[in-house]
Every structure is written in structure tokens, then in C-alpha cells.
């Protein structure tokens, strides 16, 4: 914030001509309750009568000297002047250098147009400091909000698989732990479906990594389309996925797993090295039904993993349900 003299100067000016009697000039200061009185010739300031000059004049009278006859004889000169476009900081420097208590403001023709006192400068500096404080506080708020958004974005990125846009292993751990606590506290069931892509290594070696990445995306999207809003899909690692299904029965989880299997097979993605000739998945389902006991989500995941390998051993492209 840049404050100029024009912003803070007073344009209500009492001035006197240099040939005005000293008594009249002093009466004008007293009646106007002025701490200083510019002395002008026409409209051009040539000096100033301040309290300091008044004291000096009466001290001379007390010492036996005559009171100066005119304002021009009392005034100090030359006056300390500034322009309306000068900055408040520049005015402060001039005050320090000249030790003046007031600055006369003159235009380009040297004519008196205003006056600035030390009080005006202090008041302006207070406003500048307050404005700068408000600006810094607003900047801190904006910066804090920016950092918060960045942190939220980073936290989101830390929980999402960058290739597929689904939850990653870390997100899965957090969510299954949360569901485990709810299941244990309220006696609710917790189902897990684990699946992976059949003969995916052969597909990767035969078709290449770019094609394999596209297949992973298609499969994730197909699986997402077959689960409820309360369920969540996670990339467990490589070509393995897990679906968490809170408050789901064994039958309901098995039906959801079968829908996922059918949806992926219906994509009809060619797989020349698969016995099924298209990309398929095998799935394992496990459930923890709580009746007053505690749920251990890792045991549920391990049970689903075991059921998944049973599906693999049984010929792939099928779903097996854990009996444990």
C-alpha cells in the first residue's frame, strides 16, 4: 500500500501575509487553535510560524526586546515543503532530516495547497501497518487453504492406484480395518471377494505391457459396474483385486462375484494363450459373520485367497466360496 501526501494532507489551511502584524497573526493562531501558521506572499509560502517561533518571540519580549512587528519577522524560513505526489515514506524522511513538525504541501507552481503534520504521518503509518497486517493475514489464509488442498490431493493420491484410479493396497487396509471395527462392535457381517486375471502373465508376455495395462483398466471398470455404492474395489497387487462388501451375506457376495465374472467374460477380450480364448477371472469369496465375537479382516482376506486358488485349481473362470 503506497500512501501519498495528497492522501493525508489537510486542505483546510489558515495562512497569513508576511506584512500582517505579529499580533494579528498570533491571534489568528489562537482563534483557529492552530499549531502552525504558514506565511505567504500571494499563494507561495515563504515561512511558517509554529509554537516554537511563538515561544521564541515571547522569550525575547521577556528579555526586554520588542515584539516583532510583522508575521514575516516572527516566521522561520524557508518552509519545509513537499509535493502532493510524494510518498508518505519520503515525508517521514524529510521530517527526520529537517526536524520540522509540519510540512507545507505545494503544487508545481510552488503554491500552497495543503499541510501535513507529524500526527497525520503517524496516523497514515498506522493505517499502512494495519493494511499490511490484513494483507499478510489474508495471504496466510490463502496459503493455508492451498496447502490444505495440496495435502488432500496428496492424501488422495496415496490411496489410489495411479493406473486404474481405484483404491490401492493402503486404502484397502484402512477401509477393511474400519469395517472390521464396525462388524465387531455391531455384530455386522463383512464379505470379501478376491479375484485375479487368469493366465495374465501369458497375456502380458504375448501382447505386451501396454495391452496388459489396457486390460487391467477394462476389468476394473467392468467390476466397478457390478458392485453396490457401499462396496469398494481395490487393486490388491499386480492383476489381483479385492472387493469389500459390508453387511453382505455369503449368498449375496457369491452372487456379486458371479456378476463380476460374467461381466468380465462378456468383454470378450481376446487371449490366445487361454483355454477360454478370452480374458477371464477366477474369484474367491469369504465372509465373517459375527455373533458377539471379533472380526479379523486379515483372516477374511486369507480365506478369500484360499477360495480363489480353489477356483484356479478347478479350471479357472469360476467362483469358489470359502467354507471357513
* Catalytic option among 152, 175, 239, 251: 239
Nearest to 231 by CA among 269, 285, 291: 285
Q: Which own/partner pairs from 86-94 qualify as long-range (CB within 8 Å, at least 24 positions apart)?
A: 86/4, 86/5, 87/2, 87/3, 87/4, 87/5, 88/2, 88/3, 88/4, 88/5, 88/7, 88/8, 88/121, 88/124, 88/125, 88/128, 91/5, 91/116, 91/121, 92/121, 92/125
Q: How far is residue 71's CA from residue 49's CA, in Å, rounded to a whole number?
A: 8
CA distances, 140 to each of 1, 146, 147 (Å): 18, 10, 10
Give Cα 254 to chain centroid, integer Å. 46
User: Per DSSP, what are the bridge partners of residue 271?
Assistant: none
Q: Can you point out the beta strands (E) in 180-274? A: 190-197, 232-237, 240-246
* 155 annotated active-site: no
CA distances, 209 to each of 5, 201, 239, 268 (Å): 71, 10, 12, 19
All three cell numbers of 149, joined, read 488442498
Active site positions, annotated: 239
Amino acid at each position: 500500500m503506497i500512501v501519498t501526501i495528497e492522501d493525508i494532507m489537510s486542505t483546510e489551511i489558515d495562512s497569513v501575509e508576511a506584512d500582517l502584524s505579529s499580533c494579528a497573526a498570533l491571534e489568528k493562531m489562537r482563534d483557529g487553535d492552530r499549531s502552525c501558521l504558514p506565511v505567504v506572499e500571494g499563494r507561495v509560502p515563504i515561512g511558517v510560524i509554529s509554537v516554537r517561533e511563538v515561544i521564541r518571540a515571547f522569550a525575547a519580549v521577556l528579555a526586554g526586546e520588542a515584539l516583532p512587528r510583522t508575521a514575516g519577522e516572527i516566521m522561520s524560513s524557508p518552509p519545509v515543503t513537499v509535493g502532493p505526489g510524494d510518498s508518505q515514506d519520503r515525508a517521514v524522511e524529510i521530517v527526520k532530516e529537517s526536524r520540522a513538525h509540519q510540512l507545507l504541501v505545494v503544487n508545481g507552481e510552488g503554491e500552497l495547497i495543503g499541510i501535513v503534520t507529524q500526527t497525520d504521518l503517524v496516523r497514515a503509518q498506522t493505517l499502512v501497518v494495519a493494511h499490511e497486517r490484513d494483507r499478510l493475514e489474508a495471504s496466510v489464509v490463502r496459503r493455508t487453504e492451498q496447502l490444505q488442498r495440496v495435502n488432500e490431493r496428496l492424501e488422495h493420491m496415496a490411496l489410489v492406484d495411479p493406473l486404474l484410479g481405484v483404491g490401492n493396497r493402503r486404502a484397502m487396509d484402512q477401509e477393511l480395518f474400519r469395517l472390521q471395527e464396525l462388524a465387531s462392535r455391531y455384530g455386522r457381517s463383512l464379505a470379501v471377494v478376491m479375484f485375479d486375471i487368469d493366465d495374465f502373465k501369458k497375456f502380458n508376455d504375448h501382447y505386451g505391457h501396454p495391452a496388459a495395462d489396457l486390460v487391467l483398466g477394462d476389468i476394473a471398470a467392468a467390476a466397478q459396474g457390478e458392485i453396490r455404492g457401499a462396496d469398494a474395489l481395490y487393486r490388491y497387487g499386480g492383476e489381483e483385486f479385492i472387493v469389500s462388501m459390508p453387511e453382505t451375506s455369503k449368498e449375496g457376495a457369491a452372487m456379486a462375484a458371479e456378476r463380476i465374472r460374467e461381466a468380465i467374460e462378456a468383454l470378450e477380450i481376446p487371449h490366445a494363450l487361454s483355454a477360454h480364448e478370452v480374458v477371464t477371472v477366477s474369484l474367491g469369496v469369504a465372509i465373517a459373520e459375527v455373533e458377539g465375537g471379533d472380526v479379523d479382516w486379515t483372516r477374511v482376506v486369507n480365506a478369500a485367497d484360499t477360495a480363489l486358488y480353489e477356483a484356479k485349481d478347478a479350471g479357472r473362470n469360476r467362483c469358489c466360496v470359502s467354507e471357513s
